[in-house]
Amino acid sequence: MCSNYNYIEFIDKTTPNPNQQGNKGKNIILLHQKGIKVPLGFIIKIKAFNEIINKMRIQERVNNFLTREINPKNVIPFTNELKAEFDALRIPKTIYNEIKEGITILRSKFGLKTTFAIRSSTSIEDQTQFSFAGQAESFCCVSSFENIIKSIKKCWNSLFSPSSLLFLMKMKQKGKEIPKLEMAVIIQKMILSRVAGVLFTANVLDNNPNEVLINSNWGLCETITNNSVIPDLIILDKNEFKIHKIDIGKKESRSIQNFNNSSTMLIENDSSLRTTLSLDNNHLIELHELGLTIERILKYPQDIEWALENDQIYVLQSRPITSINGEIE
Amino acid sequence: MKVIGKGLSCSSKSEAIGDLVYVTEIEDVIQLFDSASGKICLVNDAGITTLGPILSDLAGTICTTGGAGSHLAILSREFGIPCIMGTKFNIDISSVIGMKIKLSHNGDNHGYVHLLD
């Protein structure tokens, strides 16, 4: 298939390539190819990031900073300087136009009211042994093109956040090699989920490979990953569908799309939602099956973010469980 | 030794002893950058990814909310340190910051925070 684009690739029209899509992007494309439901959209390739970063000489400046600095306090002025540059960045026309066309295509496919999820996908994050989890940002329910562009710039910038730089400084302090900082950005149709959560194809609480662990809450997935609620906890037998444990979490609040469709907002769950398990038996059976299928495809125990919209489960991302040794064949 | 908090033990490693520190923002991480070794860190719902840079030095983490799927739990497991999520305290926890505490679990994923005298 021949593509007219240099900097973007549509999830349903390309093949997995971590060097341009990052690990998260590569997994989404691979899962789509294998018939797993993922939100559709496109990826802004690492190539676009590299061209922009090279122009700003960022890699070189970061390396110089890490070579010369031992005082962690100096991370703040340095990252502030980079942030100001990203805020003011004018994305080169060739890249900008492709992003614009990509969004136009998604809007014509999914409707003008569609909002988007914008996530970073790095080549260092999500690798087995080193997840760098949450060091880079994601944005949900973004609608206007202006805000899409802002979110993309924030994603790129998040690789050079204070936390990120301190992380690298610590790695250097410990004599570890600094990884090459590269990022793709994934733009997908936002799944406005009624229920969402994570699914681990091993019980990560006690490293039990014969169990599956699910966390879930009402609304969008972000309340689970960013620790803002105590979610429901379900532990299943891995080999056959059997419930080992259900702990209904407090789930004080949930995240939803805000009223002017421009971002997310946190609202309180009423008491009936708090005390009800957010998943029924059929969804548990489906998630159990989905987990095993994805693990077979990716050949390693997986940490899967999922979202349930109109009774359809979508996989938002899947990455190896980094705290487990478990090559699967 | 008195139990001062209880939550979900989210890491296969579940025992640690260390001084309790409290992190709310990146400045706290900078403050602890060279002195985090062996400490047990408490965080609330915010500032979780903030903790990343010093996690490899910490002896354990405690969060007042969250579960096994939270980023903090994922990272704590990756660094092989105990992590108790969704912790409820029976004392004013701010009164014991800097004191020596112990993390343990009961074999059924219940994690406990003890105050050592």
**Contact: A226, B50; criterion CB under 8 Å:** no
- CA-to-CA distance for A107 and B89, rounded, in angstroms? 48
Which residue type, as a one-letter code, is found at position A133? A
Q: Are A286 and A313 in contact (CB under 8 A)?
A: yes
Q: In sequence order, which residues have a C-beta less than 8 Å from that of residue A253 and are 6 or more positions away?
A: A223, A228, A229, A266, A267, A268, A269
Express as a percent the part of chain B with pLDDT over 70: 95
**Contact: A233, B11; criterion CB under 8 Å:** no
Report A:28-67 residues touching B (Cβ under 8 A): none
A272-290: average pLDDT: 97
- CA-to-CA distance for A328 and B12, rounded, in angstroms? 21
**Contact: B77, A249; criterion CB under 8 Å:** no
Q: In sequence order, which residues have a C-beta less than 8 Å from that of residue A96 and are 6 or more positions away?
A: A149
Better pLDDT: A132 or A302: A302
The 10s digit of each residue's pLDDT in A80-119 is 999 999 999 999 999 999 999 999 999 999 999 999 999 9
Q: Inform me whether the C-beta atom of residue B106 falls under 8 Å from chain A C-beta atoms.
A: no
Shortest Cα distance from B116 to chain A (angstroms)? 25
Sign of CA dihedral A210, A216, A222, A223: negative
Q: In sequence order, which residues have a C-beta less than 8 Å from that of residue B89 and are 6 or more positions away?
A: B4, B5, B64, B113
- Chain A residues with CB inside 8 Å of B78's CB? 130-131, 133, 322-323
Across chain A, what does the average pLDDT equal? 92
| Residue in B12, B48, B78 closest to A227 by CB | B48
Q: Inform me whether the C-beta atom of residue A193 falls under 8 Å from chain B C-beta atoms.
A: no
- Chain B residues with CB inside 8 Å of A132's CB? 52
pTM of the model: 0.92
Q: What is the DSSP string of A264-314?
A: EEEEEPPHHHHHS-SS-HHHHHHHHHHHHHHHHHHTS-EEEEEEEETTEEE
The confidence score (pLDDT) of residue A88 equals 96
Angle, helices A46-56 vs A93-110, to 10°: value is 150
**Contact: A170, B53; criterion CB under 8 Å:** yes
- Chain B residues with CB inside 8 Å of A302's CB? none
- CA-to-CA distance for A163 and A146, rounded, in angstroms? 26
- CA-to-CA distance for A304 and A231, rounded, in angstroms? 15
Q: How confident is the model at residue B63 (pLDDT cuts 50, 70, 90)?
A: very high
The confidence score (pLDDT) of residue A19 equals 93
The 10s digit of each residue's pLDDT in A5-46 is 999 999 999 999 999 999 999 999 999 999 999 999 999 999
Q: Are A319 and A23 in contact (CB under 8 A)?
A: yes
**Contact: B45, A198; criterion CB under 8 Å:** no
Better pLDDT: A109 or A159: A109
Report A:226-255 residues touching B (Cβ under 8 A): 226-231, 233, 249-250
Q: Inform me whether the C-beta atom of residue A80 falls under 8 Å from chain B C-beta atoms.
A: no
β-pairing verdict for A8-10 and A195-200: unpaired
Q: Inform me whether the C-beta atom of residue B98 falls under 8 Å from chain A C-beta atoms.
A: no
Q: What is the 3-state secondary structure (H, E, C) of A258-277?
A: CCCCCCEEEEECCHHHHHCC
Both tokens of residue A240? Answer: 């056959």
Q: In sequence order, which residues have a C-beta less than 8 Å from that of residue A77 and are 6 or more positions away?
A: none
Q: Does pLDDT of A298 surpass 90?
A: yes
- CA-to-CA distance for A181 and B59, rounded, in angstroms? 28
A55-69: average pLDDT: 94
**Contact: B78, A133; criterion CB under 8 Å:** yes
Both tokens of residue B1? Answer: 């030794």
Q: Inform me whether the C-beta atom of residue B87 falls under 8 Å from chain A C-beta atoms.
A: no
Better pLDDT: A234 or A227: A234
Long-range contact set of residues B100-104: C-beta below 8 Å, sequence gap at least 24: B100/B17, B100/B18, B100/B19, B100/B20, B101/B4, B101/B17, B101/B18, B101/B19, B101/B20, B101/B40, B102/B1, B102/B15, B102/B16, B102/B17, B103/B14, B103/B15, B103/B16, B103/B17, B103/B40, B103/B60, B103/B62, B104/B14, B104/B15
Shortest Cα distance from A76 to chain B (angstroms)? 9
- Choose the most confident range, by mean pLDDT, from A39-53, A131-145, A204-218: A39-53
Q: Which of A189, A196, A188 is nearest to A228 (CA)?
A: A196
Residue indicated by tokens 């899967």: A304
Q: Where are the extended beta strands (E) located within chain A?
A: 8-10, 41-44, 116-122, 138-142, 183-189, 195-200, 211-218, 232-237, 243-247, 253-257, 264-268, 302-309, 312-320
Better pLDDT: A236 or A260: A236
Q: Does pLDDT of A302 surpass 80?
A: yes
Burial class (CB in 10 A: 0-12, 13-18, 19+), B76: buried
Q: Inform me whether the C-beta atom of residue B88 falls under 8 Å from chain A C-beta atoms.
A: no
Both tokens of residue A249? Answer: 């979490």
**Contact: B67, A224; criterion CB under 8 Å:** yes
Q: How confident is the model at residue A198 (pLDDT cuts 50, 70, 90)?
A: very high
Q: How confident is the model at residue A151 (pLDDT cuts 50, 70, 90)?
A: very high
Going from the C-alpha of B91 to that of each of A125, A202, A270, B26, B95, the distances in angstroms are 38, 35, 27, 26, 8
Q: In sequence order, which residues have a C-beta less than 8 Å from that of residue A310 and are 6 or more positions away?
A: none
Q: How confident is the model at residue A207 (pLDDT cuts 50, 70, 90)?
A: confident
- CA-to-CA distance for A28 and A24, rounded, in angstroms? 6
> Residue A245's CB: how many other CB atoms inside 10 A?
14
B87-94: average pLDDT: 94
Q: Does pLDDT of A133 surpass 60?
A: no
Compute the count of residue pairs across chains A and B with CB atoms less than 8 Å apart. 125
Both tokens of residue B17? Answer: 């002893």
Q: Does pLDDT of B46 surpass 60?
A: no
The confidence score (pLDDT) of residue A181 equals 86
Express as a percent the part of chain A with pLDDT over 90: 78
Residue indicated by tokens 């999820």: A117
- Chain B residues with CB inside 8 Å of A228's CB? 45, 65-66
The confidence score (pLDDT) of residue A67 equals 93
Better pLDDT: A28 or B78: A28
Residue indicated by tokens 């478990």: A326
Report B:11-30 residues touching A (Cβ under 8 A): 11-12, 26, 29-30
Q: Which of B1, B6, B11 is nearest to B73 (CA)?
A: B11
